[in-house]
Structure 1
Amino acid sequence: MKAAYIEQTGDPENIKYGDRPDPSIQEHDVLIEVAAVAVNPIDTYIRAGNIAMDLPLPYTPGCDFAGTVKDVGNQVTKYHVGDRAWGSNQGLFGKQGSFAELISVHEDWMYPIPEEASFEQAAAGALVSITAALGLTTHSHLAEGETLFINGGSGGVGSIVVQMAKAMGAHVITTAGSDVKADYCRSIGADLVLNYRDPEMDRQLQSHLDQNGKINFWWETLRSPDIARTIPFMEKRGRIVVMAGREAELLFPLGPFYVNDLKLIGFAMFNASATEQQEVACKINDFFKAGQLTIPIGKNLSLKDAALAHQLQEKKTLEGEADFHGKIILTP
């Protein structure tokens, strides 16, 4: 089979494309013929060696995939040859990744693709949708009628949170950095979009809350969160979720935090068990079926362009530079 792989961590140029052995499957594994994979920031961190992880060199990067079942292990009960399936969590903890024509996946870490979703949509939404659904349900239990605020509603996770929260009956406030991105946020359901570059943003937010009630759920995506700024906007017993900022050190007034019964919740998708991810994957499929979830795709490249895809993702993630909006998809 053909695959993208590295023989040592480092720059995107370390990614090679060529022949690799076909994967074998164990009794609970499924052999997937890959139709599409997505590029995520964590893929670039692992490839660069910025996240300490034992890698099986040569190593194939990639967490997300969508494809067709080609073979199954003799104990597999959930899938049959010809089924369409999607998933994430590949390329981690000693496993080879998804940037290949064929991959071996344990049946507990994959999910059926509903008829309403394409391979590209399923792959593009894998990691970001599981992250969004875990934060909204497993960790924070968003309820109908609550008000949710998320920084960056046009981003990879942000755009999914906006759509899911609206589908769950929330009033959604978000931010964007341009008129084009603001229009996109409104098109996917945001009730209020504020320009985070506007020095009057906090005043505009407060004016809206004065008329509509405070925020129950603040989803923070910034790499350097400002919790002190957040607290005054929060309703009693509100939840603040953080999912970014590995190097950030928070400083905020403890009194206003605890006397309002607030909760600060940090989580990483990869800590969720197979059972927890199966549960939210069912919810994600329901959103697809109901037409309530569309994943923005900005680039569709060939698998042989994996090095270029990593370059583009790094510039977008680390430097904020991109001439496209949405996920990068690779197809064999």
Structure 2
Amino acid sequence: MQAAYIEQTGQPDVIKVGDLPQPTLRPTELLVKVTAVAVNHVDTFVRSGSFKTAMSLPFVIGRDAVGTVTAVGEQVTGFNVGDRIWTNSMGYDGRPGVTSEYAAIPAERAFLAPAGIDDLPLVAAVHSAATAAILLTDVSPVEPGQVVLIEGAAGHVGTKLVQIAQAKGAKVLATSNPRDFDRLKQLGAQQVLDYHADFASAITTPVQTIVDTSGKVDLKTNLSLLGLGGTVALITAPVTNQFTFDVREFYTQQQRIVGFVISHASLDQLQRAGQLLNQLFAQGLLLDDDLQVMPFTQAQRAHEIVEANQSKARLVLVLGEA
């Protein structure tokens, strides 16, 4: 079968496209004919070696895929040949990637794709949407009526956070460039603030959860916006890699600072997130990304684009011509 793979970690030019053996199906796996694969920043970290993770060489790249089941392992229940499925946790921690004509995917890491949802927006959404779902369900659980602040809300993860928080019944505040205000209001934000301005002064209600997607907001500012027992969740770091804050106020208010990367999510967290995402996908939610579609034979160029932040669109590789 044709696949995009590496034989060593390094720059994007280590990516090769060529023939590899079709994977052997284990009893607990699905053999999937892959349709499309998303390219995320974390894929470039794995390829470069900056994210240390177990891999067997040659290593097929990519973690998020959508495709059709062509064979079912003898111990698998709940899936049938012909089912359309998606996955978002391959390509690291010893699991081979999915940028290949066929992939063997553990059934516990596969989700049935909702009917009527196109493959490309679906696979483009699953990484950022699962990150948002786990953040607001497990890392800092959101309850109806709570106030949630999403900073940098117009990005891929930000828009998913807005929609999931709104679906959970929260009052959603968001910061962004003013050009994105109307879009974020349509997605469910009730108050949208210019992140270039002193947005903190416009927030008068204590916030329960703040998710900083940018690393550009001073931690002390965010802690001052939290109510008793509130949480600041970080999914990135400032360029300086440093923050300062008032420790006494922090502990007397019983506040929390938590970091999260989806690569360390547990299987239970991923499965709960997948169930929630399918409910929201079926409602037409979370599928809002602009797409840049390329053939998988251009995987090297795709990694170059993502690594250099040359496109704001979500990049998707198709198995065939784009």
Same fold (TM over 0.5): yes
Please give the alpha-carbon distance, in whole angstroms, between the structure 1 residues aligned to 2:96 and 2:182: 39
What is the TM-score of this pair, normalised by structure 2?
Answer: 0.93
Q: After TM superposition, give the deviation of residue 268 of structure 1 in Å.
A: 2.4
Does structure 2 retain, via aligned residues, the 8 Å contact 1:225–1:245? no
In the other structure, the counterpart of 2:200 is 205
Does structure 2 retain, via aligned residues, the 8 Å contact 1:300–1:330? yes
Q: Which ranges of structure 1 fall in alignment gaps of 5 or more residues? A: none
Does structure 2 retain, via aligned residues, the 8 Å contact 1:225–1:250? no
In the other structure, the counterpart of 1:239 is 231
Q: After TM superposition, give the deviation of residue 303 of structure 1 in Å.
A: 0.8
Please give the alpha-carbon distance, in whole angstroms, between the structure 2 residues aligned to 1:142 and 1:314: 32
Q: CA 1:44/1:223 → structure 2, altered by over 3 Å: closer, same or farther?
A: farther
The correspondence for 2:255, drawn from 259, 262, 270, is: 262
1:230 has 2:217 as partner: no
How many aligned positions are there?
A: 318
Q: After TM superposition, give the deviation of residue 267 of structure 1 in Å.
A: 2.3
Alpha-carbon displacement from aligned partner over 1:272-308 (angstroms, at most 9, x marks no partner)? 2222211121111111122333240320111111111
In the other structure, the counterpart of 2:277 is 284
Does structure 2 retain, via aligned residues, the 8 Å contact 1:175–1:194? yes
Does structure 1 retain, via aligned residues, the 8 Å contact 2:153–2:213? no
Q: After TM superposition, give the deviation of residue 263 of structure 1 in Å.
A: 1.6
Q: Which moved more, 1:237-246 or 1:5-14?
A: 237-246
Does structure 2 retain, via aligned residues, the 8 Å contact 1:221–1:242? yes
For residues 142-221 of structure 1, the aligned pairs below 5 Å read 142-177=142-177, 179=179, 181-196=180-195, 198=196, 201-202=197-198, 204-207=199-202, 209-210=203-204, 213-221=205-213
What is the DSSP-based 3-state SS (H/G/I as helix, E as strand, rest coil) of the residue aligned with 1:166? helix
Q: After TM superposition, give the deviation of residue 224 of structure 1 in Å.
A: 6.0
Q: CA 1:326/1:173 → structure 2, altered by over 3 Å: closer, same or farther?
A: farther
What is the DSSP-based 3-state SS (H/G/I as helix, E as strand, rest coil) of the residue aligned with 2:60? coil
Identity of aligned residues (%): 31
For residues 246-257 of structure 1, the aligned pairs below 5 Å read 248-257=241-250
What is the DSSP-based 3-state SS (H/G/I as helix, E as strand, rest coil) of the residue aligned with 1:161? helix
Please give the alpha-carbon distance, in whole angstroms, between the structure 2 residues aligned to 1:8 and 1:58: 8
In the other structure, the counterpart of 1:49 is 49
What is the DSSP-based 3-state SS (H/G/I as helix, E as strand, rest coil) of the residue aligned with 1:328? strand
In the other structure, the counterpart of 2:16 is 16
Does structure 2 retain, via aligned residues, the 8 Å contact 1:59–1:97? yes
Please give the alpha-carbon distance, in whole angstroms, between the structure 1 residues aligned to 2:280 and 2:99: 26
In the other structure, the counterpart of 2:315 is 328
Q: After TM superposition, give the deviation of residue 178 of structure 1 in Å.
A: 5.6
What is the DSSP-based 3-state SS (H/G/I as helix, E as strand, rest coil) of the residue aligned with 1:79? coil
Q: After TM superposition, give the deviation of residue 248 of structure 1 in Å.
A: 2.7
Does structure 1 retain, via aligned residues, the 8 Å contact 2:86–2:112? yes
Residue identity in the other structure for 2:221: R
Does structure 2 retain, via aligned residues, the 8 Å contact 1:162–1:189? yes
Q: Which moved more, 1:43-52 or 1:274-283?
A: 274-283
Q: Which ranges of structure 2 fall in alignment gaps of 5 or more residues? A: none
Q: After TM superposition, give the deviation of residue 67 of structure 1 in Å.
A: 0.7
